[in-house]
A and B are shown apart, each in its own frame.
Chain A
Amino acid sequence: MSEHAVIRRNHVHVTGAGERTLLLAHGFGCDQNMWRFVLPALAERYRVVTFDYVGSGNSELAAFDPARYGELDGYAADVLEICEALDLRDVAFVGHSVSAMIGLIASLQAPERFAELLMVCPSPDFQERPPEYHGGFHHEDLVELLDLMDKNYIGWANYLAPLVMGGQADEALVGELSGSFCSTDPIVAKTFARATFFSDCRHLLPRAEHPTLILQNRMDPLVPVAVGEYMHAAMPDSTLRVLGAEGHCPHMTHSNLVTAAVHEYLEGMVA
């Protein structure tokens, strides 16, 4: 894909100035607007790249391919294509939630693009795998999640359009549903949910090639504290920081804590 095509497809934005480049990757559910609370402070010191995964935010929904985005590898391909389009090297990749693992996958495929991985509320696997791993969710919770998503986004047009129109959905119709902050396209949202909550990336942790900061909230309904400890133990050059915050989106609710942790970590890298 051409540089411009990728920038348009993923609604890529570049802001701020600095010697280092941060690539901010939003998590499941919403779009790059998630970063707006930390963006001003980060842009003072760094060049900051934000984007929407295909299917989220203001990305080009026409580029959505259920097969590609049914796996985290598809999202990692978005990240790598953005790196190529902007010719990014040695970026500090900041990924929220599932994007932490997407960044790890991308960093293993093209190590030269990355310098550090900064993971905000990451989880390598949301599911319970007794006895050795406790991701917090049982299989039936995740089935209920897909069911709840169905009930919240009962979309007829999008479900039926590809069938009725022989696989070629009307782009104008499909496109109309995008553009809101949190994805309301039922197919896209459920595809991302499946890729997020049914993937198990634990085997990738020991293979990490870059220094990694694991930022965890002291109480996160989606990620048990033990998950951070598990990751820290499994990842070779990792640092675990537990923030005095609750919830799953500290970059929205406790932006100062997150920007401070990012600065501190990256400055430590220079020293």
Chain B
Amino acid sequence: MAGPPGADPTDRFPCGCLVTDLERRIRFANAYFEHRFGLERDALSGQNLADLLTSASSVILESYVLPMVMHEGECGEVQMTMISATGERAPVVVNAVLRAEESAIYWSISSAVQRDRLSEELIEARRAVESRAEELQVLSMTDDLTGLMNRREMERRAHVLIKDARRAGRPVSMLMMDIDDFKAINDRYGHAHGDEVLRQVGHCLGEHGRETDLIARFGGEEFVILLPGTSLSDARRYAARIDGLLRAIRVDAVSITFSTGVTGVEDAETAGFEDLFKMADRALYRAKDQGKNRIAVESDAPGTDTA
């Protein structure tokens, strides 16, 4: 069974076998290190294992492998990078087990060139999937035509903003805007023209909105702006300003008008997104009902005005 007299059977193993003390000083190394990495056995004796590894690997060794070996008695399948006698870097997989009674750690160190390639392919594939997932996420929350966020995304984000405002005791307001007689524009000038109107409205809102506001196309010709930290009176002024800007939009010399519902609560404690939405919707309905091309306000406070 044994090899030639005097030969160390560990020299025939197709992996590196090492014994170190707890400070990683090498007590024993088999012949694999010389065959594979050109590291002579005599030179290895007394060397620190960390010196055979890249700096990055020594961080893994000190931060993961050694604490694991000390705490759990063993550590398995950790990939690191060895440096050969000629300075070449070689990926290796390391397993280690503690022999406390000998104050020794036994190590097996195997070549991991193929595993490393596989890892790289996996990481590459993961990156591709991640970036695809990110693209899809952006798509799923964006309104194609205007580039504004869509209804679902606004609802998702609004809850967080309203919760923050509630915590800070700040007001929250909402604008709901609807292009007047949009169907007539579509019918008269065609859908391409209607789309261009929507695009320009979206662009104008995106351009003049504050960073803290949420601006969404809610479908059709309806736009919703959530204004966290903005009082109802400020929201009303803001609505008038936006209305003025939107009025300037011309698509092939055709102008458009808007009906806008404005609402707000002084303390977000009293209302959530759904409540604001219902109130803004009521205000918008009233603006339409009163002849369109106007701003109507609805608040939860007594004495609601309907400008």
Which of B55, B72, B120, B129 has a CB less than 8 Å from the CB of A137? Answer: B55
A156 neighbours in B (Cβ, 8 Å): 126
Stretch of A4-12, A24-32, A44-52, A225-233 contacting B (4+ beta carbons < 8 Å): A24-32
Residues in chain B within 8 A of chain A (CB atoms): 22-25, 48, 50, 54-64, 66-68, 70-72, 78-81, 116, 119-120, 122-123, 126, 129-130, 133-134, 137, 156
B55, B80, B120, B134: most-surrounded residue (chain A CB, <10 A): B55
Q: Which of A112-168 contact B (CB under 8 A)?
A: 136-138, 141-142, 144-145, 147-152, 154, 156, 159-160, 163-164, 166
Q: Are B56 and A249 in contact (CB under 8 A)?
A: no
Bound form: Cα–Cα A27–B123 in Å: 27
Bound form: Cα–Cα A252–B22 in Å: 10
B79 neighbours in A (Cβ, 8 Å): 148, 151-152
Least CB distance, B127 to chain A, in whole angstroms: 9
A141 with B71, Cβ < 8 A, contacts A148-B79, A151-B79, A160-B133 known: no
Bound form: Cα–Cα A212–B111 in Å: 44
Q: Are B70 and A252 in contact (CB under 8 A)?
A: yes
Least CB distance, B276 to chain A, in whole angstroms: 22
Query: Main SS of the interface on chain B?
Result: helix
* Interface mask (A170-213 → B, CB under 8 Å = 1, otherwise 0): 00000000000110000000000000010000000000000000
Q: Are A148 and B72 in contact (CB under 8 A)?
A: no
B120 neighbours in A (Cβ, 8 Å): 151
Q: Is A41 an interface residue (CB 8 A)?
A: no
Q: Are B62 and A219 in contact (CB under 8 A)?
A: no
B67 neighbours in A (Cβ, 8 Å): 29-30, 34, 181-182, 249, 252
Q: Are B23 and A253 in contact (CB under 8 A)?
A: yes
A136 with B63, Cβ < 8 A, contacts A156-B126, A163-B130, A181-B72 known: no
Residues in chain A within 8 A of chain B (CB atoms): 27-30, 33-34, 36-37, 136-138, 141-142, 144-145, 147-152, 154, 156, 159-160, 163-164, 166, 181-182, 197, 219, 221-222, 245-249, 252-253
Bound form: Cα–Cα A159–B4 in Å: 53
Least CB distance, A121 to chain B, in whole angstroms: 9
Q: Are A248 and B63 in contact (CB under 8 A)?
A: yes
Q: Are A221 and B50 in contact (CB under 8 A)?
A: yes
Bound form: Cα–Cα A148–B80 in Å: 7
A219 with B55, Cβ < 8 A, contacts A160-B133, A249-B70 known: no
Least CB distance, A167 to chain B, in whole angstroms: 9
Q: Are A154 and B64 in contact (CB under 8 A)?
A: no
A29 with B64, Cβ < 8 A, contacts A160-B129, A160-B133 known: yes
Q: Are B23 and A246 in contact (CB under 8 A)?
A: yes
Least CB distance, B114 to chain A, in whole angstroms: 13
Least CB distance, B16 to chain A, in whole angstroms: 18
Q: Are A221 and B62 in contact (CB under 8 A)?
A: yes
B62 neighbours in A (Cβ, 8 Å): 29, 221-222, 247-249
Q: Are B123 and A28 in contact (CB under 8 A)?
A: no
A148 with B81, Cβ < 8 A, contacts A154-B126, A164-B133, A248-B63 known: yes
